[in-house]
A and B are shown apart, each in its own frame.
Chain A
Amino acid sequence: MLRLIAFRLLAFVPTLIAASIVLFIAINVVPGSAAKAALGIDATPQAIARFEHQHGLDRPLHVQYLAWLAGVLRGDFGSSFQNHVPVGPELLARLPVTLELALLAFLIANLIAVPLGAIAAYFHQRRTDFTITFAATVMGAIPNFWLATLLILLFALTWRWLPAGGYVPFTEEPLRNLSMMIMPALSLGIVSSALLLRIMRSAMLEVLSSDYIRTARAKGAGQGVVIRRHAIRNALIPFLTVGAVEFGFLFGGVVIIEDMFLLPGIGSLVLVGIINRDYPVLLAAALVITVVVLSANMIVDLIGSMLDPRQVHGRSGG
């Protein structure tokens, strides 16, 4: 088991490095654009050359990348082109906002998907199944930023129940924090629940037609016990494994939703980086989002293989 964990963690390092290379290349895909973007279209060639020299942008791309990577490994994400403030502390201050939003949204998505997916599977190919599956298709087609717009229109502008945006930390005013987080979390969570619901339904269908469920029934276990104790529990393993991918999509969604609700998280920092053409800020914020997504995938992958008895026994020689 320990060997399995160590192996997965070791294999994760090249993935992270490769991901950072992809991001670095994506941002620098047009050479010289950083200086032009930062200085404006009227910048003289001399000013551009000075700017590039000052920020080390006149070095070959691989040298720039290695210097940046060395900095990141020391916890130094560079400084903003705009105000020269170090990016690292800014990231640290913003990360809790984004994590809270993403986790709340994921919780909402699961609260919708798990029971409805299980119910749909239970009533396989009957009216209830059809209705739930159709509802999932509809939910999945709603752009999350439109859902956010509708929620603001209803709950903030029309009924005035919730604030349209803003942020206070949970530790300072928990209730106010939740009242500000609920609409952004719903916007992300409801849309994400669509795919999760389909996954839960499929996982549940597979479990319900398996031999051990037949055995449990044959032994006289009641319907409720079979569903709760056996079916849902076993369906959750494949569900969580695939669900992690959805967490990644959901986490990417924070870029738009944080901006709409004026939440000072990593997602809105990506947009700040883009609007100001502040590449160190953009690169750092994008890297944090990518690392969180990849880590979530890796952790769930690891949990999945730990829960799968074939893997455990196979590795430990059982």
Chain B
Amino acid sequence: MTDLAAPAGRPRGRFAGSRHGLLALGGVLVGGVVLAALFANWIAPYSPYELNVAAMLQGPSAAHWLGTDELGRDVLSRTIFAARISVEVALVAVGVGLLGGTVIGIVAAYFGGMLDMLLMRLMELLFSFPAILLAVILMASLGTSILNAMIAIGIIFIPGFSRLARAATQAVLRQQYVDAARTIGMSDARILGREILPNVVTPLLVEAAVAFAYAVLLESALSFLGLGAQPPEPSWGNMLNTGRGFMAQAPWLGIVPGMAMFLCVLGFNLLGDGLRDFFDPHLRD
């Protein structure tokens, strides 16, 4: 028999190394984005807003490594500063989703019954909407601003986190120490906070890494549509949207911001996959 029926276990030899390599690659990409976001003021060679009419649509050169845009602004500097918006939006959005989803999931699992059914039905429904459609509608309704983008994207994440928190809570509830806590007369709030929450944190944090990638993608999509970050504030999405109008003369305007988005999303995906493998190898296949 060939190894077709080989059980799916830990990766073997060389490819186990490759998996660790991918996790490391994810870490490097994410680290790069976070450093760019934190230290944009020091790293970026120019101000992201500095106009230079004499240097419009110039190709990559020693002075402007990634060229200039239609207003002569340095594309590298704008790309670095845009990382800041992406990371900020993703951080707050994932925070909103994580908080809302965890509360809903734990409450649903802990109290069960009708409340559980109603909450989970609602989550299931929200989950079935295409994310970008829901994001676009919420933005239209809330108004276009970075803060609203954070809220809209955060709302989209609530169902995913709530399902995970509910499943994790249910698993914890079956443990004896929860029964013990009940027997000694601990209040519901204390059991939830002291016994359950610490035990459901790990799967939620792994999911958060993947949600981060998706948040970056959604923020870029909203900004691309003109519903997120507003020019002249640099965001990868709005840079790409403006840039594609000048692509025939300046192809880098269509390539650079997209590449930044791609590397950032790839980084968070690899990191999420790697963390998932690390914490729960059974989930991999």
Contacts and interface: CB of A to CB of B under 8 A. Distances in A.
A149 B129 contact: no
A143 B247 contact: no
Nearest to B133: A252
B255 interface: yes
A205 B22 contact: no
A152 to B, nearest CB: 7
Contacts of B126: 22
Nearest to A283: B137
B265 interface: yes
B220 A153 contact: no
Contact of B140 (A124, A213, A282): A282
Given A146-B261, A290-B129, A209 B5 contact: yes
Contacts of A127: 15
A274 B222 CA distance: 12
Contacts of B18: 130
Interface in B170-206: none
Interface stretch (A25-33, A64-72, A169-177, A233-241): A25-33
Tell me what chain B mostly uses at the interface: helix, strand, loop, or mixed. helix
Tell me what chain A mostly uses at the interface: helix, strand, loop, or mixed. helix
A262 interface: no
Interface size class of B (residues with CB under 8 A): 35 or more
A179 interface: no
Interface size class of A (residues with CB under 8 A): 35 or more
Given A23-B137, A30-B142, A150-B258, A256 B247 contact: no
A311 interface: no
Interface string B21-63: 0100000000000000000000000000000000000000000
A208 B129 CA distance: 34
A297 interface: yes
Given A150-B258, A253-B132, A26 B137 contact: yes
B171 to A, nearest CB: 22
A272 B109 CA distance: 42
Contacts of B265: 141, 143
A137 B141 contact: no
Interface string A109-150: 000000000000010111100100010011011110110011
A289 interface: yes
Contacts of B22: 134, 137
Contacts of A149: 240, 244, 247, 254, 258
A214 interface: yes
B112 interface: no
Contacts of B114: none
Contacts of A282: 137, 140
Contacts of B255: 150, 153
Interface string A1-17: 00000000000000100
A286 interface: yes
Given A149-B247, A150-B258, A252-B133, A26 B141 contact: yes
Given A137-B266, A138-B266, A297 B137 contact: no
B146 interface: no
A156 B38 CA distance: 38
A161 interface: no
Given A146-B262, A256-B132, A271-B225, A15 B125 contact: yes
Contacts of A28: 141
Interface string B136-153: 111111110000000000
B128 A293 contact: yes
Contacts of A286: 133, 137
Interface stretch (B6-14, B71-79, B87-95, B160-168): B6-14
Contact of A125 (B15, B131, B143): B15
Contacts of A146: 240, 258, 261-262
Q: A22, A146, A274: which has the most chain B beta carbons within 10 Å?
A: A146
B82 interface: no
Q: B133, B136, B262: which has the most chain A beta carbons within 10 Å?
A: B133
Contacts of B266: 137-138, 141
26 contacts: A18-B121, A22-B126, A27-B140, A30-B142, A33-B141, A141-B213, A145-B221, A146-B258, A146-B262, A149-B247, A150-B254, A153-B254, A153-B255, A205-B285, A208-B5, A209-B4, A209-B6, A213-B5, A248-B130, A252-B131, A255-B130, A255-B136, A255-B225, A274-B139, A290-B133, A293-B130
Interface of B: 1, 3-8, 11-12, 15, 18, 22, 121-122, 125-126, 128-134, 136-143, 213, 217, 220-221, 224-225, 227, 240, 244, 247-248, 251, 254-255, 258, 261-262, 265-266, 269-270, 273, 285
Given A143-B262, A213-B5, 7 more contacts: A141-B213, A146-B262, A152-B254, A259-B225, A273-B140, A274-B227, A290-B130
